[in-house]
């Protein structure tokens, strides 16, 4: 019984439940289309969320299969199930295949268009795991595109067309987060960073800072245009502009002065960002009948 529980925990850890929150991007079309009181659409959105969770779980397993030797050098990743020996590579392969098969079957019950989006997402993540994560810039671009797929999938699931501005914002914002994570990996792991992730041999902190200096003004400008395009639907939305500016300033400060940004858990540890995020959500929802 104890061995069974240990195996279950190891498999659960392998699919990284703490990362499932990333799939909340699937719900964005439901919220901003003001359809969150439509029970049928809520169920469809949750179903899409579940399918993307299955797909992302398969990606995590495949990534760990490809990187387990490098992960043994990483101070935190060496504790993961495959590098630590709690799950064998054969067991992980069969888990990956089962999750992949379950993803395709579940997506086929949604709609043909949604199945195409899921297929595109899965193919992209497999290509990322096998090849593209070693290519400078392409690695972070594909990570950001993964979030665009989530938003598009969420829109298709409920029959809502995602706006061009929303696609641009999601891509640029998640690109900023992905690049910033690379920066902190280099900073926090120092010499070990190049051994744990091959592409880090090509990045430098100065280069990433220059990239962020380009991306951040574009994101903020895009967000300003987006808020003006939405002001007829929500007059409170324009008031969120200073909050977004503060969040980026705060984030850049934390990148420069702390270890913040390498782990997704870090976002829950900075109370200032959490408070501003809560105020942003209240204002964003104020004109949509939620508050």
**55, pLDDT greater than 50:** yes
123, containing H or E segment? helix 112-130
Report residue 287's pLDDT band, with 50, 70 and 90 as the boundaries.
Answer: low
Tokens 């574009």 found at = 218
Cα Rg of the chain (Å, integer): 20
Whole-number Å distance between alpha carbons of 139 and 199: 8
* Residue 161: count of CB within 10 angstroms of its CB: 11
Query: In this structure, are residues 74 and 196 in contact, taking their beta carbons and an 8 Å threshold?
Result: yes
CATH of region 19-162, choose from 3.40.640.10, 1.10.357.140, 3.40.50.720, 1.10.287.1040: 1.10.357.140
The domain ranges of the chain are 19-162, 163-291
**Dihedral sign (CA 16, 77, 124, 102):** negative
Which of the residue ranges 12-26, 133-147, 183-197, 246-260 would you say has the lowest mean pLDDT? 183-197
Highest-confidence segment of 61-65, 77-81, 187-191: 61-65
Report residue 192's pLDDT band, with 50, 70 and 90 as the boundaries.
Answer: low
Query: In this structure, are residues 170 and 148 in contact, taking their beta carbons and an 8 Å threshold?
Result: yes
Whole-number Å distance between alpha carbons of 123 and 48: 17
> Whole-prediction pTM value?
0.90
Report residue 291's pLDDT band, with 50, 70 and 90 as the boundaries.
Answer: very low
Average pLDDT over residues 108-132: 95
pLDDT of the residue at 144:
97
High-pLDDT (> 90) share of the chain, %: 60
């Amino acid at each position: 019984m104890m061995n069974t529980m240990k195996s279950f925990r190891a498999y659960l850890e392998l699919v990284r439940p703490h990362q499932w929150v990333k799939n909340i991007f699937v719900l964005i079309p439901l919220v901003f289309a003001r359809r969150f009181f439509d029970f049928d659409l809520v169920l469809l959105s949750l179903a899409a969320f579940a399918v993307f969770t299955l797909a992302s779980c398969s990606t995590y397993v495949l990534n760990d299969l490809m990187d387990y030797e490098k992960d043994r050098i990483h101070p935190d990743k060496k504790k993961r199930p495959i590098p630590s020996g709690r799950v064998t590579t054969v067991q992980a392969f069969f888990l990956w295949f089962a999750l992949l098969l379950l993803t395709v079957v579940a997506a086929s019950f949604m709609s043909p268009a949604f199945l195409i989006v899921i297929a595109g997402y899965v193919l992209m993540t497999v290509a990322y795991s096998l090849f593209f994560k070693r290519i400078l810039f392409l690695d972070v671009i594909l990570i950001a595109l993964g979030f665009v797929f989530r938003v598009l999938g969420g829109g298709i699931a409920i029959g809502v067309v995602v706006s061009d501005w929303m696609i641009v914002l999601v891509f640029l914002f998640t690109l900023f987060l992905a690049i910033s994570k690379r920066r902190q990996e280099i900073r926090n792991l120092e010499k070990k960073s190049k051994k744990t992730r091959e592409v880090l041999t090509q990045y430098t902190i100065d280069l990433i800072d220059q990239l962020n200096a380009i991306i951040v003004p574009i994101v903020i400008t895009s967000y300003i245009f987006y808020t003006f395009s939405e002001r007829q639907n929500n007059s409170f939305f324009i008031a969120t502009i200073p909050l977004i500016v503060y969040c980026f300033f705060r984030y850049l400060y934390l990148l420069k002065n702390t270890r913040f940004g390498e782990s997704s858990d870090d976002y829950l540890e900075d109370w200032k960002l959490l408070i501003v995020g809560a105020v942003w959500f209240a204002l964003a929802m104020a004109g949509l009948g939620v508050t």
